[in-house]
Amino acid sequence: MKPQPINEQYLLPTYARRQIAFERGQNATLFDEAGNDYIDFASGIGVNSVGYANPRLSAAVADQAAKILHISNLYLNRNQAELAQTIARLSGSDAQVFFGNSGAEANECAFKIARKYGEKRGRYEIITLRNSFHGRTIAALKATAQDKFHEHFGPFPDGFTYADDLDHAAKLIGKRTIAVMVEIVQGEGGVTPLDKDRLLSLAKLLRDQDLLLITDEIQCGVYRCGEFLASQIYGVKPDIFTLAKGLGGGVPIGAAATTIKNALGFGDHASTFGGNFLATKAALVTLEILEGLRASGALGRTIDYFGDRCRATTLNFPTLFTGVTGIGLMKALVAKDGAAQKAIIDAAHENRLLVLRAGEDRVRLLPPLTISLEEIGEGFERLDRACRSL
Ligand SMILES: Cc1ncc(COP(=O)(O)O)c(C=O)c1O
């Protein structure tokens, strides 16, 4: 593949880009500038929840662009209000929502809600889990309990403590603790679902002490695991949950939702672009599509078939894989080791299949939720071919 004629001299080199230049896509199939097709098991890292060129989403975005893109939060915004109402309804809670533009921004809002809630009791500390990932802003980085992300960027704000697991989190609760924050399925850390019983007992412990459970559902939420929130699958009711990635179907949007009534007040928080007409319209239509997909049973069928093919692949190549992890369409094939992980990911790309890494030994699969059974079949054939070549 010819490298793109874009001069990297003008970009900060923070990303390791594969030399593939995509031009367009159709559902879960992408086409590069030379017209080669790729099957997408990555969704732009869990973002393209309704696939590429979704006719309903692209029509809504075009329609909104022809009216108003942005008006600021100084005026009423019907899309934003309707989206907040939809998020509350789908979450089965009385939540109020603040909109930002990214996952990290959603989490920053969650930290502020928790700190304000704890202020009167002198509580501000948030406990997070080892191998978590909560974003790249300074506070979200500090909440991310992986030392490798912290190098170069200190000093960090106080008020974050790390627990090895949920039992340890329960033990760490002290007089300064205000919240425990978890990903229901840890994404970047390795696609690791939390233990249900332990999470339920931690949630009860927190509730009994009037402390908060924050679920970062930025990667695992918005139907990625089969329900609107992954916490709904666990039967857990968070006090605060955060969303981003798949929410706008590719248009940037983040949301922090809380069941604490008026948790933030006038002047406490703001975001210039947050929840603008374009992003909230895109999210409204994306949620409409996904709610329908879930209600029709199509999402469930896709999840079953995708899971079957994951298991079959790991069984067919026992020298490369040791198993499958994850929930719904948030899956990882566990590679034998880091070298196998890298070789499989490279070979998949050579066979025109997009996959992601997670943790030190996992091949993460986050296909669009609208992926067809044919696209899944074709993707796994390419993965089989990639594995046979190793
Ligand atoms: C669980 C989780 N939280 C937060 C983030 C940060 O989101 P963003 O990159 O949109 O700031 C991510 C991104 O990968 C994530 O997976």
pLDDT exceeds 60 at position 2? no
Atom of ligand 1 nearest to the CA of 245: 10
For 194-337, where are the alpha helices, taking DSSP H only? Answer: 196-208, 230-234, 277-295, 298-316
Confidence band of 9 (pLDDT split at 50, 70, 90) = confident
Mean pLDDT of all residues in 177-196: 98
pLDDT in tens, 273-288: 999 999 999 999 999 9
Confidence band of 104 (pLDDT split at 50, 70, 90) = very high
Q: Indicate if ligand 1 lies below 6 Å from the C-beta of 216.
A: yes
pLDDT exceeds 60 at position 169? yes
User: What is the C-alpha end-to-end distance of the chain, expressed in Å?
Assistant: 21
In angstroms and rounded to an integer, the radius of gyration of the C-alpha atoms of the chain is 21
Q: Indicate if ligand 1 lies below 6 Å from the C-beta of 256.
A: no
Mean pLDDT of the chain: 97
For domain 68-295, which architecture applies? 3-Layer(aba) Sandwich (3.40)
Alpha-carbon distance of 293 to 144, in angstroms, equals 33
Name the superfamily (CATH) of residues 8-53+297-388. Aspartate Aminotransferase, domain 1 (3.90.1150.10)
CA 170 to chain CA mean position, Å: 25
- Compute, in angstroms, the gap from residue 349 CA to the centroid of ligand 1: 24
Q: Indicate if ligand 1 lies below 6 Å from the C-beta of 135.
A: yes
Domain boundary assignment for the chain: 8-53+297-388, 68-295
pLDDT in tens, 119-136: 999 999 999 999 999 999
State the pLDDT at residue 7. Answer: 65
Which protein residue has the closest C-alpha to ligand 1 atom 16? 219
State the pLDDT at residue 27. Answer: 98
Query: Which amino acid belongs to residue 16?
Result: A
Q: Indicate if ligand 1 lies below 6 Å from the C-beta of 104.
A: yes
pLDDT exceeds 60 at position 370? yes
8, β-bridge pairs: none
pLDDT in tens, 319-354: 999 999 999 999 999 999 999 999 999 999 999 999
Confidence band of 8 (pLDDT split at 50, 70, 90) = confident
State the pLDDT at residue 290. Answer: 99
330, β-bridge pairs: 327
Q: Indicate if ligand 1 lies below 6 Å from the C-beta of 358.
A: no
Q: Indicate if ligand 1 lies below 6 Å from the C-beta of 239.
A: no
- Under 8 Å between Cβ of 330 and 219: yes
Q: Indicate if ligand 1 lies below 6 Å from the C-beta of 108.
A: no
Alpha-carbon distance of 94 to 207, in angstroms, equals 17
pLDDT exceeds 60 at position 54? yes
- Compute, in angstroms, the gap from residue 135 CA to the centroid of ligand 1: 5
pLDDT exceeds 90 at position 1? no
Give the pair of three-digit tokens for residue 340. 């196998």
Q: Which residues contact 374 (CB under 8 A, 6 or more apart)?
A: none
Which protein residue has the closest C-alpha to ligand 1 atom 3? 134
Atom of ligand 1 nearest to the CA of 137: 11
pLDDT in tens, 216-238: 999 999 999 999 999 999 999 99
- Compute, in angstroms, the gap from residue 108 CA to the centroid of ligand 1: 11
Mean pLDDT of all residues in 50-71: 98
- Compute, in angstroms, the gap from residue 133 CA to the centroid of ligand 1: 7
